[in-house]
Chain A
């Protein structure tokens, strides 16, 4: 069983995940960030692979990505940074990037590298489901990788069920119909949406993302789904405060 599924088995609720932008704020912060987040009690991590044109991300993550790229980050460096600490960490790693990065790097080469550094889950928000089904699912599986799909309030029931069938890790529940980091609170409409998804009795673990930025929003979301991903709020925090005291940020959210 993959590390992340082992985690879901042991801890079905209040799962806290944090997204960070690799190479941000400084090129070589990756190890400090990962170790810091693991020590602070975060359950699993999303390793952001900075992209020049991140169309599903909000301004905060886009800006951090563009700084990281200016810092000189690239896929090979990220894989090296992860390789160096792979024996010191135990936290499940999810890589989040864009499909073009995988295509250009070479999908098979990308998978091989992911496997060798301990990544077992991918979020590629612009990879079409049909392409995954027809081409990549088998290849990913060969390297112990599974892909995570997003659902939104506009995703149909039929499509959600199909995603549920195709998912080996979790479903990324987009908490609001907005881009990352735009909203401050969880609305009744969003809660109704969570409840609607729950009523489908899906087999997959449900992790909410987009717009979760505080203890309040984290707690509210965790009442309805299995856990949440904090992205923009963390990126903003390390942008201002650096990476040495990230336990303070995490404590503020998960208590």
Chain B
């Protein structure tokens, strides 16, 4: 048994579990009792892999980035999750969960979203499967991610504004949970990351594991070896990192680097670097590390990237952090922006702001000449154009000074 797989009680080390009110117990239990059997069934695997191939466009390329490699003096590969249909890794999970929901006979799908990527990926598969879709999104995020809101609506989803708290991802999640409590029987809650009560973290990790499964054979094809020396991925809740790490967790020779959003700086009070700023506690049904005050009140995180703007981290990552198996680094808003511009200039790829955090630690690492590094490029930057245009204007203004 792997040290990093969930145990039979739903825990990764001391983290995980299902800290949920009784009102949610039957739903979560139903999922727990069925998810493995469904995922492991031939019918599920056949349809899931078919859709990933023909609908999503998998396998995504593993691209040896020559200019980036030259600049940092290592062999740097990009796992191109940005090339997936809908623009990020999120769809790997929504395809899988929508099939599970259908199998359970659920007719109504709810989801939370921050930047809107998971919302769009959910609305997309609901359109595909002709299921009702309701997406909860913070009022603040609705304003700052208007194109994704429009996409979801065009896909037929109802977008509901979360108006409590900071009106962002955490609050959208609370609203989704509340809706689930009110509609316990017909509703399936399609969680977008490796967070939430057991079995969600394990289920989402399994559905994202396709990323590292592909890295293994692609790397072997290109280098003769399955294992890179280092894998780097950004972590908000942590689903793309879970997918990129999944098949390497027990190969301790592969360094796993998780990059959190430092916001304006770890000690600025405006940050989302949970492992550095958090303590053990419970958030959204899972025991993990989270940002909180001395009374256990969850504090508001901050990051320029809506997808990393979350005060917790999935229980698997809390375990990787606590056990030392994972190396946790972080990047500030500005470092992420610089990395986004660097990748664009060097390789002609505009990355999502989230993924730019992973790119941003290259310069902070002591890379060796022959080191093989895989960076999970989890999403594309189309949704972040407004932020990038602001940065571009600043850069041009500086040039003219």
Contact = CB atoms under 8 A, between A and B. Distances in A.
B61 to A, nearest CB: 40
Chain A interface size, as a band, is 35 or more
Nearest to B179: A179
B165 A104 contact: no
A62 B285 contact: no
Greatest chain A CB density within 10 A among B9, B170, B181, B294 is at: B181
Interface in B259-292: 279-285, 292
Contacts of B285: 55, 126
A175 to B, nearest CB: 12
Given A63-B164, A66-B164, A179-B178, A151 B297 contact: no
B296 A103 contact: yes
A52 B298 contact: yes
Given A150-B21, A154-B26, A178-B182, A101 B165 contact: no
A104 B294 contact: yes
Interface string B24-35: 011000000000
Given A56-B181, A126-B285, A177-B182, A105 B295 contact: yes
Contacts of B297: 51-52, 69, 74, 101
A149 B19 CA distance: 13
A56 B292 contact: no
Contact of A53 (B17, B182, B283, B295): B283
Given A99-B282, A104-B294, A104-B296, A154 B184 contact: yes
A98 B170 CA distance: 16
Contacts of A125: 21-23
Contacts of B182: 177-179, 182
A59 B164 contact: yes
B320 interface: no
B69 interface: no
A177 B22 CA distance: 10
A100 interface: yes
A101 B296 contact: yes
Contact of B174 (A53, A63, A69, A103): A53
A174 B295 contact: no
B281 A104 contact: yes
Nearest to B166: A52
A127 interface: yes
Interface residues of B, number: 33
A56 B283 CA distance: 13
A141 B36 CA distance: 38
A255 interface: no
Interface in A124-174: 125-128, 130-131, 149-152, 154-156, 159, 174
Contacts of B18: 128
B21 A52 contact: no
A175 B9 CA distance: 30
B136 to A, nearest CB: 13
B254 interface: no
Contacts of B164: 59, 62-63, 66
Given A53-B174, A63-B164, A100-B283, A177 B23 contact: yes
Nearest to B178: A179
A75 interface: yes
Contacts of B282: 98-100, 103, 126
A53 B20 contact: no
Given A58-B178, A100-B281, A150 B23 contact: yes
Nearest to B17: A128
B177 interface: yes
Contacts of B181: 55-56, 177-179
Interface in A47-98: 51-53, 55-56, 58-59, 62-63, 66, 69, 74-76, 98
A66 B162 CA distance: 15
B22 A149 contact: yes
Nearest to B20: A126
29 contacts: A51-B296, A52-B165, A52-B297, A55-B20, A55-B21, A56-B181, A74-B295, A74-B297, A99-B19, A100-B283, A101-B296, A101-B297, A103-B296, A104-B292, A104-B296, A105-B295, A105-B296, A126-B285, A128-B19, A130-B9, A150-B22, A151-B22, A152-B25, A154-B23, A155-B22, A159-B25, A177-B182, A177-B184, A182-B182
Interface of B: 9, 17-23, 25-26, 164-165, 170, 174, 177-178, 181-182, 184-185, 279-285, 292, 294-298
Interface of A: 51-53, 55-56, 58-59, 62-63, 66, 69, 74-76, 98-105, 125-128, 130-131, 149-152, 154-156, 159, 174, 177-179, 182
- Give the 6 A-B residue pairs with the shortest CB-CB distance, closest first: A104-B296, A56-B21, A150-B22, A125-B21, A154-B26, A101-B296
